[in-house]
Structure formats: C-alpha cells, structure tokens
C-alpha cells in the first residue's frame, strides 16, 4: 500500500509562496524542522516555479446556501477594531497608531538576515548561560525543602460575661477564644537528580537550536559571498571585453 502525500509538502510550497517566492529550501527546511534536500526534492517534483500561488481558503457558506436569507447583517466592526485581540501575536500594526518611541524603534530594527541570526544566537547563548547557572545552584542545594501545612480553626471557652436579655434581666453568657492550629505538615524534598536531568534535557534543546542558527548563518554568509564573487567576475569580464574592444579600434 502506497503512502499518502505528506501535508508538509503543501505547507512547504505555501511558505515559499508567502515569502514572495524568495525563501531558499534550506530556510524553509529550518523553519519546518525538515531536511533541506527533501524540500529541494519537493520543489523539483512539484514544479513550484510553474505553479500559481495557493488560493486562500473560502470562509463563506457553500453555493446555494440560504441560511442568511432575510438577514440584513450588521454594520460590522469599526475601522481597525481590536475585538478579536487576545495575545497580540497576530494583531495588525498600523503606522499611524504607533507611539512616538515605537516609530523610532520601528526604523531601527535590523533587517539584515545575518544580523537577525546573530541576535538569535546571542539570546540563545544567554539562555544557555542562565540554565547552566541554575544547574549549578541545584547542585549546591539551592532547591530548599517545600513545606506545606494544614490548619483548622479551634474554639474554646475562656470565661463568662454578663448580658441583658430582652426583658432587661442580666444573664451570664460564655466567652470563646478562636485560634488556628496546625493539624498536618508535609515536607517535600526536591529530587535533585530529576531536576538536573530536566535542566540538562532543556539545555540540549537550546544548544541544538543554537547549532541550527549557526549552520544557517554559515549558509547565508556563504551564499552572499558566492553572489559577490559572481558579481566581481562579471565586472572583471566586462572590463576585459571593453579593453579588447578599445584595443581593436
């Protein structure tokens, strides 16, 4: 039985189209966590350069649907409304709504691919350092015992005091004192080995991600150098042709 078509195959093509058909197979592979050679294979087999961009998914009712017959509809939300705003991850940013300091920062953002990659590497390096510091603290016994207790409210009689009843007669009523008393105490000692193994496991993932960014930086830099070398060769060839033409005359 043949294997079905991988959904990653169509997703890779969509990512390439959304980038303006400029992303390299290695960059798509890095984003999807796949092998670059596999992306190149899909690009060749599916003839991406000859395919139109995928159509956006239709969100309306199917043709002939009459569920909305008679419904005038509402005016919709106001221009640039933020009713669907939740975490800000997908919020649209309008230039005229930015604060003054945000407008300054917007044009100070480094868009050079190498600079962006280097920034990610620095952040991962900082994260790695902090995780190593946490591991050292755990080894030194920084994780103290976690103590939890359970208390109940107790009431005891401590005497009496006079009180007038509805007829004006005096009667003695008891006086109580309330206090909290601990009835249960639990001491949980952290499992140092489990904590260290968890930190080291996360540290491995961070280091692996940093390694991928380093590899991507090398590839981007190598590609830029190759293009520069090609341009230099073209300029040199043009100069040689020009010199030959001038000499011929």
Q: What is the mean pLDDT of residues 35-60?
A: 82
Q: What is the mean pLDDT of residues 139-151?
A: 73
pLDDT of 249 reads 52
DSSP string, 110-167: ---HHHHHHHHHHHHHHHHHHHHHHHHHHHTT-S--EEEEEEEEEEEEEEEEEEE-TT
pLDDT of 109 reads 67
pLDDT of 15 reads 92
- Residue 87 in this model has a pLDDT that exceeds 80: no
pLDDT of 85 reads 46
pLDDT of 17 reads 92
pLDDT of 92 reads 61
Residue 70 half-sphere exposure toward CB, CA atoms < 13 A: 1
Q: pLDDT tens, 177-222? A: 888 888 888 877 667 777 788 888 888 988 888 888 888 888 877 7
Q: How far is CA 135 from CA 20, 122, 127, in A?
A: 44, 20, 12
Q: pLDDT tens, 115-132? A: 888 888 888 888 888 888
The least confident of 14-18, 50-54, 138-142 is 138-142
Q: What is the mean pLDDT of residues 72-77?
A: 54
Q: What is the mean pLDDT of residues 3-23?
A: 87
- Residue 13 in this model has a pLDDT that exceeds 90: yes
């Amino acid at each position: 039985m043949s294997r079905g078509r991988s959904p990653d195959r169509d997703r890779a093509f969509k990512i390439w189209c959304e980038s303006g058909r400029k992303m390299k197979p290695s960059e798509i592979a890095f984003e999807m966590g796949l092998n670059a050679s596999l992306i190149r294979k899909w690009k060749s087999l599916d003839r991406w350069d000859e395919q139109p961009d995928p159509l956006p998914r239709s969100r309306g009712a199917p043709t002939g649907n009459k569920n909305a017959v008679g419904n005038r509809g509402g005016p919709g939300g106001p221009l640039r409304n933020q009713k669907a705003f939740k975490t800000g991850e997908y919020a649209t940013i309008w230039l005229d709504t930015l604060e003054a300091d945000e407008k300054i920062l917007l044009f100070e953002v480094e868009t050079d691919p190498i600079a962006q990659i280097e920034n990610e590497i620095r952040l991962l390096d900082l994260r790695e350092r902090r995780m190593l510091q946490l591991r050292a603290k755990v080894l030194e016994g920084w994780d103290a015992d976690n103590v939890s207790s359970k208390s109940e409210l107790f009431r005891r009689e401590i005497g009496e005091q006079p009180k007038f009843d509805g007829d004006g007669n005096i009667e003695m009523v008891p006086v109580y004192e309330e206090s909290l008393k601990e009835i249960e105490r639990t001491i949980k000692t952290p499992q140092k080995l489990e904590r260290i193994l968890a930190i080291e496991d996360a540290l491995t993932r961070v280091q692996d991600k940093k390694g991928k960014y380093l590899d991507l930086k090398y590839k981007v830099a190598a590609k830029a150098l190759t293009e520069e070398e090609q341009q230099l060769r073209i300029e040199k060839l043009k100069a040689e042709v020009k010199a030959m033409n001038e000499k011929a005359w």
